[in-house]
Structure 1
Amino acid sequence: MKLYPIETGNFKLDGGAMFGVVPKIIWNKTNPADANNLIDIAARSLLIEDGNRLILIDTGMGNKQSEKFFGYYSLWGTHSMDGSLAKYGFHRDDITDVFLTHLHFDHCGGAIQWNNDKTAYEPAFKNAKFWSNENHWQWATEPNSREKASFLSENILPMQESGQLNFVERSSGDFVKESELGFGIFFADGHTEKQMIPYINYKEKTIVFCADLLPTVGHIPIPYVMGYDTRPLLTMDEKTKFMNTAADNNYYLFLEHDAHNPIITVKHTEKGVRLDTVFSCDEIL
């Protein structure tokens, strides 16, 4: 097995929205804001090469939305899906599986693209199976008013229409030890219904793709919860369990949204679980 970080592009989000009730004077120390109160955000995917399978976890927001849409997110940097894949000798047509932690636009938008004459949408990974789960799919296709702006039908429905959509099998409980994709999955409900957090055994380490359970280093303290979360008190419970387990077992936490701290470990302190070490992707993967 080999793992590759896939940088799909950087953007910015409102710092207050990213930290909910936490005052700016506190979160600005770890996630400094610009003059518009925006903080740096990454869209960092992970590619797993395992035998004949190439599994991509999340896809970033893609490039099919309007200029007005992207204007809200202050895109920056030079990263792209195709450029990152090419860096490791791959093309999007090589991808066999696209695993989507959840279906918010910044995680799944890159899964679907315009066709050549921009008359219809089509899968951006024509040879891949798309993986979601049944509970989250229903949640995303029948969205509540709070999340409706994040669940864009053009990002989601073409997966099903193409015949490439698959659902991960889930038994009772919130953890699947080994899924059809070959890795464990923790199902978390605080951010959105049945977000899937992959646990990957790699070189005698456990790599956890944190998605929106832990967006950035600044979100390590338990009460530091995004304003976007639908069930913030549940997020706190899930983070407590997750962060303690990560510290106990020295998990390597792959941060999808932290533009400056790609992989971290955490440790127990008298103030609770806190940051231990920051690593570059080259040091761990």
Structure 2
Amino acid sequence: MRIYPIETGNFKLDGGAMFGVVPKSLWNRTNPADGNNMIDIAARSLLIEDHNQLTLIDTGMGNKQSDKFFSYYYRWGDHSLDKSLKKLGFHRDDITDVFLTHLHFDHCGGCIQWNKDRTGYEPSFKNAVYWTNKRHWEWAIKPNDREKASFLKENLLPMEESGQLQFVRHDKSKFTSRSEFGFGILFVDGHTEKQMIPHIKYKDKILIFTADLIPTVGHIPLPYVMGYDTRPLLTLKEKKSVLETAAEMGYYLFFEHDAHNEICTLRSTEKGIRLDKIYRFDEVFD
């Protein structure tokens, strides 16, 4: 097995929305805002090469939305999914599986693209199976008013119509080990219904793909919960469990949304679990 971080593109989000009830005077220390109160955000995926299987975890927001749509997110930098794949010697047609932590547009928008004459949509990964879970899928295609702007029908319906959509099994146990991917999955419900958090064993270490459970290093303290979360008190409980386990077991956190920090470890302190050390991916898994 080999794993590669994939940068799909950077953007910005409102700092207040990203940190909920936490005052700007606190979160601005770790995630400094610009003059518009926007903070830097990444869309960082993982690519897992395992024998004949090439699995991409999340895809970023893609490029099919309108200029008006993208103007809300202040995209910056020159990263793209295709550039990142090409740098590693891969093409999107090589992808066999796309594992989606959840179906908000900044995590799954890259799954679907315009067709050649821009009359409709088609899968961006023509040879891949798209994986979500049934509970989350049903939540996404009949969205509540709070999340409706994040679950876009042009991202979801073409996925189903393509015949490439499949569902990960969800049982009552805390972790589900999936032979399809070779990693464990933790189901969490604070951010959205049945978000899936991969736990990957790689080179004798455990890597947790934090998705939107812990978006950035700045979100490690328990009360630092996004305003986007549908059930913030549940997020607190879920975060606490993951952070305590990771600190105790020496797990590594991989950040999807931290534009400046890829990986970190944790330590226990009198004030709770805190950041220990920050690493680049290649410093840990060279």
Query: Which TM-score bucket, shorter chain as reference?
Result: over 0.9
CA deviations 1:186-217 (Å, max 9, x no partner) are: 00000000000001100000011100000000
Secondary structure at the counterpart of residue 177 of structure 1: strand
Please give the alpha-carbon distance, in whole angstroms, between the structure 2 residues aligned to 1:89 and 1:26. 42
- For structure 1, the residue ranges without an aligned partner over 5 or more in a row are none
The RMSD of aligned alpha carbons is 0.7
Which residue of structure 2 aligns with residue 266 of structure 1? 266
Please give the alpha-carbon distance, in whole angstroms, between the structure 2 residues aligned to 1:219 and 1:179. 31
Which residue of structure 2 aligns with residue 7 of structure 1? 7
* Contact 1:174/1:188 (8 A) holds in 2: no
Please give the alpha-carbon distance, in whole angstroms, between the structure 1 residues aligned to 2:179 and 2:141. 24
Secondary structure at the counterpart of residue 144 of structure 1: coil
Runs of 4+ in structure 1 off by over 6 angstroms are none
Which residue of structure 1 aligns with residue 127 of structure 2? 127
| 2:281 matches 1:281 | yes
Secondary structure at the counterpart of residue 148 of structure 1: coil
Per-residue deviation, 1:179: 4.8
Please give the alpha-carbon distance, in whole angstroms, between the structure 1 residues aligned to 2:113 and 2:284. 32
Secondary structure at the counterpart of residue 84 of structure 1: helix
* Contact 1:43/1:60 (8 A) holds in 2: yes
Using the aligned pairs only, state the percent identity: 71
Q: For 1:40-119, list aligned pairs within 5 A.
A: 40-119=40-119
Which residue of structure 2 aligns with residue 228 of structure 1? 228
Per-residue deviation, 1:16: 0.1
Per-residue deviation, 1:128: 0.1
Amino acid corresponding to residue 56 of structure 1 in structure 2: L
Please give the alpha-carbon distance, in whole angstroms, between the structure 1 residues aligned to 2:182 and 2:236. 28
Q: Judging changes above 3 Å, is the alpha-carbon distance between structure 1 residues 108 and 117 closer, same or farther for their aligned structure 2 residues?
A: same
Q: What TM-score do the two structures reach when normalised by structure 1?
A: 0.99
Report the count of equivalent residues.
285
Which residue of structure 2 aligns with residue 204 of structure 1? 204
Amino acid corresponding to residue 30 of structure 1 in structure 2: T
Amino acid corresponding to residue 10 of structure 1 in structure 2: N
Per-residue deviation, 1:181: 1.6
Please give the alpha-carbon distance, in whole angstroms, between the structure 2 residues aligned to 1:197 and 1:206. 13
Q: What TM-score do the two structures reach when normalised by structure 2?
A: 0.99
Q: For 1:132-143, list aligned pairs within 5 A.
A: 132-143=132-143
- For structure 2, the residue ranges without an aligned partner over 5 or more in a row are none
